[in-house]
């Protein structure tokens, strides 16, 4: 409306009989009203899309949380937490431009020039052509630059991948590289990848630069202005259009290039958003653990593995036909070589994964038929990679039983042999993990044990940590563990044989199957895998003190 009105304004001002003041005021009002209406409408439109975006983001995050609450616990590896963080934070944010801005800005970017061009063609077709006169140059240059784009992009991505691989190799091996004086050679691999990439990129982009400079000029305001003015003056001299019409053409021709640039920018942000949407979609479609339509209540707390078969990938069985019964109040230790399936078997009890064959039962009921909330009130777990959440130490312990009072939290921490350490922190139980509470691995595990004590589940899966070298911490953990064991059914993934020698039952896994089971003394007598492991263990356990032999 303002462009058209400006043309009329020129008409009125240049009218042979002198300008008509009434007409002038009317046209000025029209310009003002047009601009005001545009501001109002685009404000309303952006308001609508921003509210929609806020609701979409909230809804997506909520759905992610709901979905993730139902995926198998085994899904949450270090890898997945990066994925979740990216999806919940960056990807949902990446949708913002698409939802809140794209349609409004694209509409404005397309309607304004198209409306103007339509008006020009209506005035005189030659004016319309003049306004888009430089576009074909740009389009041709763009098409030339984009030839083989897909293929070049693939080459570029693989070049990037080679560089990242070289960087990762260099950084992750830096200690070894330095220790063995191979810094130059490792560095070479990175330099070669980087040089190859530079050559490829230079060869691709160099010829484009001059073309791009020229083609961008075809859209620049000075060039468009000069061509429009020159053409307009010529049209007027030929008597095809009035000066006012020529001026309108100049104004409209200047806004046309913004469409082209806005379309390019819009396409880019749409691609980013589409990739983000795809990742969010995948996350929202992560397979969930099926929940029984009519959950059953376990009768007692005896746990049983019945001919359990399990495979992570559907082809190789990690567990083969494992049968095992955990009597209430007993300690069962799982031992075996690394990779024999101890962790996998133990975590099937709290349903980190569902079995591929056979069944895991608690109180005679298949864990798949137990309502999840009840299952997690029945089976607790303390695993190796203890996760402390960002929050106070007290809150971290209270995760075990959210309603627990301060006295209960303190009692649990005392029993887990971590109370004294917590009171040494600047703000005691109110110290925040990651801010003023920093725990060593052994201490973090004792916090996790306090949490498990507070949760007070009758069944407990425990991964006895390997990595804590200091004897004091180890002794404290052992004390805390014995506290946990009293009155509970315990399934322990054992790494150090001496700590489980007193277990009610030791189950030796080998290659995903039960090789032996029994008490320590019986297994030693049987002189099988366990006896061999024990002898090896004894040998290493006595070594540091100078060798008992």
Output the six-digit token pair for 407.
């006295």
The single residue among 344, 392, 431, 457 that binds ligand ADP, judged by CB under 6 A, is 344
Tell me the site size for ligand ADP, rule CB under 6 A. 10
Closer to ligand ADP by CB, 342 or 368: give it: 342
Element counts in the chain: helices (H) and strands (E): 21, 10
Nearest to 537 by CA among 511, 491, 506: 506
Output the six-digit token pair for 270.
């749409």
Give how far the C-alpha of residue 26 lies from the chain's centroid of Cα atoms, to the nearest Å: 58
Smallest distance, Å, CB 343 to ligand ADP? 3
Smallest distance, Å, CB 512 to ligand ADP? 7
332 binds ligand ADP (CB under 6 A): no
| SS3 readout for 300-341 | CCCEEEEEEEECCCCCCCCEEEEEEEECCCCEEEEECCCCCC
Closer to ligand ADP by CB, 12 or 514: give it: 514
Closer to ligand ADP by CB, 319 or 416: give it: 319
For helices 221-237 and 243-284, give the axis angle rounded to 10 degrees: 140
Distance CA 280, CA 283 (A): 5
Closer to ligand ADP by CB, 228 or 517: give it: 517
Q: x/- string (CB under 6 A) for ligand ADP, residues 237-256?
A: --------------------
215 binds ligand ADP (CB under 6 A): no
CB 58 within 8 A of CB 92: no
Closer to ligand ADP by CB, 318 or 422: give it: 318
Contacts of ligand ADP in 257-276 (CB under 6 A):
none
Binding segment for ligand ADP (CB under 6 A), chosen from 216-224, 268-276, 340-348, 414-422, is 340-348
What is the DSSP code (8-state) at residue 77? -
Closer to ligand ADP by CB, 313 or 407: give it: 313
CB 262 within 8 A of CB 106: yes
Closer to ligand ADP by CB, 39 or 339: give it: 339
Smallest distance, Å, CB 318 to ligand ADP? 4
Q: x/- string (CB under 6 A) for ligand ADP, residues 173-212?
A: ----------------------------------------
508 binds ligand ADP (CB under 6 A): no
Whole-Å CA distances, 327 to 163, 300, 302? 56, 10, 5
Closer to ligand ADP by CB, 215 or 343: give it: 343
Closer to ligand ADP by CB, 338 or 545: give it: 338
Q: x/- string (CB under 6 A) for ligand ADP, residues 46-85?
A: ----------------------------------------
Helix (H) or strand (E) holding 256: helix 243-284
The single residue among 248, 259, 340, 431 that binds ligand ADP, judged by CB under 6 A, is 340
Distance CA 294, CA 351 (A): 18
401 binds ligand ADP (CB under 6 A): no
Distance CA 383, CA 452 (A): 11
- Please compute, for residue 542, the number of CA atoms within 13 A of its CA located in the half-sphere on the CB side: 8
CB 60 within 8 A of CB 96: no
Binding segment for ligand ADP (CB under 6 A), chosen from 107-115, 287-295, 334-342, 364-372, is 334-342
The single residue among 343, 392, 473, 489 that binds ligand ADP, judged by CB under 6 A, is 343
CB 381 within 8 A of CB 492: no
Q: What angle do CA 370, 375, 376 make, to 5 degrees?
A: 160
Contacts of ligand ADP in 403-422 (CB under 6 A):
none
Rg (CA), the chain: 36
Smallest distance, Å, CB 401 to ligand ADP? 29
494: CB partners within 8 A, 6+ apart:
333, 334, 335, 342, 464, 500, 503, 506
Smallest distance, Å, CB 316 to ligand ADP? 8
Binding segment for ligand ADP (CB under 6 A), chosen from 26-34, 51-59, 154-162, 342-350, is 342-350
Give the bridge partners for 509, in sequence order.
514
350 binds ligand ADP (CB under 6 A): no
Give how far the C-alpha of residue 342 lies from the chain's centroid of Cα atoms, to the nearest Å: 29
The single residue among 257, 266, 341, 400 that binds ligand ADP, judged by CB under 6 A, is 341
Smallest distance, Å, CB 309 to ligand ADP? 13
- Please compute, for residue 100, the number of CA atoms within 13 A of its CA located in the half-sphere on the CB side: 14
Nearest to 414 by CA among 456, 378, 450: 450
Q: x/- string (CB under 6 A) for ligand ADP, residues 291-320?
A: ---------------------x-----x--
228 binds ligand ADP (CB under 6 A): no
The single residue among 39, 118, 287, 339 that binds ligand ADP, judged by CB under 6 A, is 339
Closer to ligand ADP by CB, 159 or 336: give it: 336
Closer to ligand ADP by CB, 84 or 394: give it: 84
CB 440 within 8 A of CB 469: no
What is the DSSP code (8-state) at residue 369? G
Give the bridge partners for 333, in sequence order.
492, 506
Give the bridge partners for 517, in sequence order.
507
363 binds ligand ADP (CB under 6 A): no
Q: Which residues bind ligand ADP (CB under 6 A)?
A: 312, 318, 336, 338-344
């Amino acid at each position: 409306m303002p462009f058209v009105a400006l043309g009329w304004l020129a008409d009125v001002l240049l009218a042979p009989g002198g300008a008509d003041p009434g007409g002038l005021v009317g046209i000025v009002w029209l310009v003002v009203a047009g601009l005001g209406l545009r501001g109002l409408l685009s404000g309303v439109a952006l308001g609508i899309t921003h509210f929609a975006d806020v609701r979409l983001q909230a809804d997506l995050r909520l759905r992610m949380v709901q979905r993730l609450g139902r995926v198998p616990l085994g899904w949450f590896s270090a890898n997945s937490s990066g994925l979740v963080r990216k999806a919940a934070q960056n990807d949902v944010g990446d949708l913002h431009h698409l939802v809140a801005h794209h349609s409004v800005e694209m509409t404005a970017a397309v309607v304004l020039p198209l409306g103007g061009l339509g008006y020009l063609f209506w005035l005189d077709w030659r004016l319309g052509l003049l306004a888009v006169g430089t576009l074909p140059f740009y389009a041709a240059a763009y098409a030339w630059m984009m030839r083989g784009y897909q293929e070049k992009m693939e080459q570029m991505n693989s070049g990037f991948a080679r560089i990242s691989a070289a960087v990762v190799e260099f950084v992750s091996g830096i200690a070894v590289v330095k220790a063995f004086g191979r810094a130059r050679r490792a560095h070479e691999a990175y330099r070669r990848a980087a040089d190859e990439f530079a050559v490829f990129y230079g060869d691709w982009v160099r010829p484009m630069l001059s073309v791009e400079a020229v083609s961008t000029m075809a859209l620049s305001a000075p060039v468009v202005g000069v061509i429009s003015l020159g053409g307009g003056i010529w049209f007027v001299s030929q008597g095809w259009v009035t000066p006012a019409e020529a001026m309108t053409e100049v104004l409209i021709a200047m806004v046309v290039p913004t469409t082209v640039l806005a379309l390019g920018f819009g396409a880019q942000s749409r691609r980013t958003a589409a990739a983000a949407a795809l990742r969010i979609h995948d996350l929202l479609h992560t397979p969930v653990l099926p929940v029984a339509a009519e959950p059953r209540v376990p009768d007692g707390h005896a746990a049983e593995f019945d001919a359990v078969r399990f495979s992570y990938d559907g082809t190789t069985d990690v567990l083969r036909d494992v049968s095992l019964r955990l009597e209430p109040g007993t300690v069962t230790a799982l031992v075996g070589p690394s990779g024999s399936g101890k962790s996998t078997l133990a975590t099937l009890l709290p349903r980190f994964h569902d079995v591929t064959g056979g069944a895991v039962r608690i109180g005679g009921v298949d864990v798949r038929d137990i309502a999840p909330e009840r299952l997690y009130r029945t089976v607790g777990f303390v695993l190796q990679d203890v996760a402390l959440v960002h929050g106070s130490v007290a809150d971290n312990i209270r995760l075990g039983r959210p309603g627990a009072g301060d006295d209960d939290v303190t009692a649990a921490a005392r029993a887990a042999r971590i109370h004294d350490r917590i009171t040494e922190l600047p703000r005691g139980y109110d110290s925040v993990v990651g801010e003023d509470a920093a725990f060593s691995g052994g201490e973090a595990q004792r916090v996790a044990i306090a949490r498990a004590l507070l949760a007070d589940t009758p069944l407990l899966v425990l991964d006895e940590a390997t990595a804590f070298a200091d004897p004091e911490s180890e002794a404290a953990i052992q004390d805390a563990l014995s506290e946990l064991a009293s009155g509970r059914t315990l399934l322990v993934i054992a790494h150090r044989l001496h700590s489980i020698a007193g277990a009610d039952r030791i189950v030796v896994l080998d290659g995903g199957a039960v090789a032996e089971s029994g008490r320590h003394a019986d297994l030693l007598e049987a002189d099988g895998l366990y006896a061999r492991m024990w002898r090896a263990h004894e040998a290493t356990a006595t070594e540091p003190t100078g060798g008992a032999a």
